[in-house]
Chain A
């Protein structure tokens, strides 16, 4: 695209970045704690976590709206240091959109170009391009107050994209929209990102949103980066209990590490599962409800791992049936494709629950 964009450097690189906020009474709060991350060029990268986990502060530090207490932030290899936001090659879509209410849509979109003294002749074409990109062509002369939430969101997007930033930062941009519009915008955003080929850094607390759109997800908790991986890897092979629990529903089976590739469940069963934890440390084995299968007691195939239990609850969801199965040392949730009533287990049935070892993952206790 231009000279500063090249393959040698990742789009964004954070090294040892921390942010501590001090208040006047002298107490310090660590919002971001020693975060290292590398975002590749053209990647759709999500920072995911519950509110207060430091994801927005991280984004604001990349934008320059907040300065790190320690660490280094580089964009395409260039150290950002104390550089103010107006001198950084990034643009932001704010959670509240932050559209200027006294300017028309076109003026809003053209603001960044005007500030950078892009010649009038070029400006017009760029504004038109950006407004068309978000399909707001007919609204160019309206004021932001005359637009719906979804339309404002599009304008905010166009206002950022028109500058062709090296990196686009999005702070929960869909948070204020209703569910249906949110789903629609997720698809559009992803398509848009492919079309313009700009690196997106996307902050959200909605795990489904992150999984749908991202190339990679970084899960944050209490200011720390817990795991960075593709959506599939995050879902299938979480490394910590928090990540497993935060992304979708899951079951935890308490266990102890018995060697490089073996764990012992709380009931004494041995399970071949690779883990990086020291022998003897307490861990949990996580298995997603839909990876579990319920069989009549003793009818499970031999190549699957099994646990015996008794059905305690049966919930019919239309497209699925969820069984709550009590094992003597814990409770499991099993999600099966819906079957006809005659083929279902009933409350009180003795059953065997099975899963394939590759669908289980070892997480920190």
Chain B
């Protein structure tokens, strides 16, 4: 019951050198490798074309818009390229919004770090079962509807909402923080806290605890073992988490729109305003480019500091 060995039928596969030649020509292997590279490129081509068309080119348009001219009627025309829009970035109103965005994002990031670090530490010291359960508990808010989660706070913070009532009941004075910067920071913290917990957990979980044992063995107190061993080793997670919270907070739009009212707009809100109400494409685009640049710098910092994936 012999099975025939597979024999080559003409016309399939790459060219085959026939038996006459003594030695295969050097370089054909390179050609085969190049053919394989071509296959890979072709496989990726539709995706490349799509991203080029619907991501890279739109990005190019935004950059072009930031140098474009705005007509009296509010149309943006791609002619007479100039730096007017960037000059406008120095205006008081833009600077006010920019500084507010910056400090709110920084405060939100710090609060997230303070809240998330002990939690991530606690999760990573649990038994695998409990750990997985707690992780799912963090993952659910991580991926579930951001808009609605933010809205939930509006329900709580409303003038007759539970939090407000509770504040007044305890006698902490006026509990109405809705439409203040505190409400916006609260919303940012609530929205992006999982972004801090998960990378921190990933970093702390990787720590070799025998190092801590070693430190304890060398008469380090619990606290100094943490400060000298655990904290430095978890720093990549701290950096990753901080960037993941800072970047979206800096360009936030939904959170201030729901919890900040019209007063507490951030850069994201300002961009939307420029496009949808003020009809000033160049300025809106210029601010977008700046936000994008901040994001890119933060990401580069992250990759430089040894981060691998987001």
**From residue 126 to 174 of chain A, which have CB atoms closer than 8 A to chain B?**
126, 129, 163-166
Q: Is the CB of A79 within 8 A of B29?
A: no
B8 touches A83 (CB 8 A): yes
When A79-B17, A81-B15 are in contact, do A70 and B23 touch as well, CB less than 8 Å? yes
Residues in chain A near residue B20, CB distance under 8 A: 79
**Please, which residues of chain B bring their CB within 8 A of the CB of A71?**
23-24
- The interface residues of chain A lying within 8 Å CB-to-CB of B24 are 68, 70-73, 79, 81-82
A83, B2: Cβ atoms closer than 8 Å? no
Does B2 contact A81, Cβ atoms closer than 8 Å?
no
The yes or no answer to B171 lying at the interface (CB within 8 A) is no
A-B CB pair tally, cutoff 8 Å = 83
Q: Chain B, 1-28, contact with A by CB distance < 8 Å: what is the 0/1 string?
A: 1111111100011111111111110101
Q: How far is the CB of B246 from chain A (nearest CB, A)?
A: 34
Q: Which of A68, A69, A89 contacts B5 (CB 8 A)?
A: A89
Contact A84 B14 (CB under 8 A): yes
**Residue among B8, B24, B26 with the most chain A CB within 10 A?**
B24
Which of B2, B8, B23 meets A1, CB within 8 Å?
A: B2
Q: What is the CA–CA distance of A317 and B17 in the complex, to the nearest angstrom?
A: 57
Report chain A residues within 8 Å CB of B16: 79-83
Q: Which residue of B lies closest to A74 (CB)?
A: B19
Q: Which residues of B contact A122 (CB under 8 A)?
A: 1, 3
Q: Which residue of B lies closest to A73 (CB)?
A: B24
Interface residues on A, range: 35 or more
Interface residues in A45-104 (C-beta closer than 8 Å to B) = 67-74, 77-84, 86-89
A16 at the interface (CB under 8 A from B): yes
CB of A6 within 8 A of chain B?
no
Give CA–CA (A113, B12) in the complex, Å: 19
Min CB–CB distance A303 → chain B (angstroms): 50
Tell me which residues across on chain B come within 8 A of A78, comparing CB atoms. 19
B interface, over-half SS: loop
Interface hub of B1, B15, B19, B29 (most chain A Cβ within 10 A): B29
Q: Does B83 belong to the interface (CB within 8 Å)?
A: no
Bound CA–CA A172/B175 (angstroms): 72
Interchain CA distance A217-B196 in the complex, whole Å:
58
- Tell me the complex Cα distance, A116–B7, Å: 10
Closest Cβ of chain A to B307, distance in Å, is 22
Tell me whether B2 and A15 are in contact (CB under 8 A). Answer: no
Task: Kindly supply a per-residue 1/0 record for chain B positions 213-233, scoring 1 wherever the CB is within 8 Å of any chain A CB and 0 otherwise.
Answer: 000000000000000000000
Please state if A79 and B6 are interface contacts (CB–CB under 8 Å).
Answer: no
B4 touches A82 (CB 8 A): no
Taking CB atoms, residues of chain A closer than 8 Å to B4 are 2
Is A125 interfacial (CB-CB < 8 Å)?
yes
Given A15-B23, A82-B14, A125-B1, answer yes or no on A116-B28 (Cβ-Cβ < 8 Å): no
Q: Are A82 and B22 in contact (CB under 8 A)?
A: no
User: Is B32 in the interface zone, CB < 8 Å from A?
Assistant: yes
Question: Which A-chain residue is minimally distant from B20 (CB atoms)?
Answer: A79
Q: Is the CB of B1 within 8 A of A126?
A: yes
Name which residue of chain B comes closest to A81, CB basis: B17
Contacts of B12 in A (CB 8 A): 87
| B182-200 near A? 1/0 per residue, CB < 8 Å | 0000000000000000000
Question: 10 A-B contacts, Cβ less than 8 Å apart?
Answer: A72-B17, A79-B19, A81-B24, A81-B28, A82-B14, A82-B28, A82-B29, A87-B8, A88-B6, A126-B1
Top-7 shortest CB links A-B = A81-B17, A89-B5, A67-B29, A70-B26, A79-B19, A81-B16, A82-B14
4 further A-B contacts with Cβ under 8 Å, apart from A86-B6, A165-B5, are: A15-B22, A67-B28, A84-B13, A164-B2
Residue positions of B touching A, CB distance < 8 A: 1-8, 12-24, 26, 28-29, 32-33
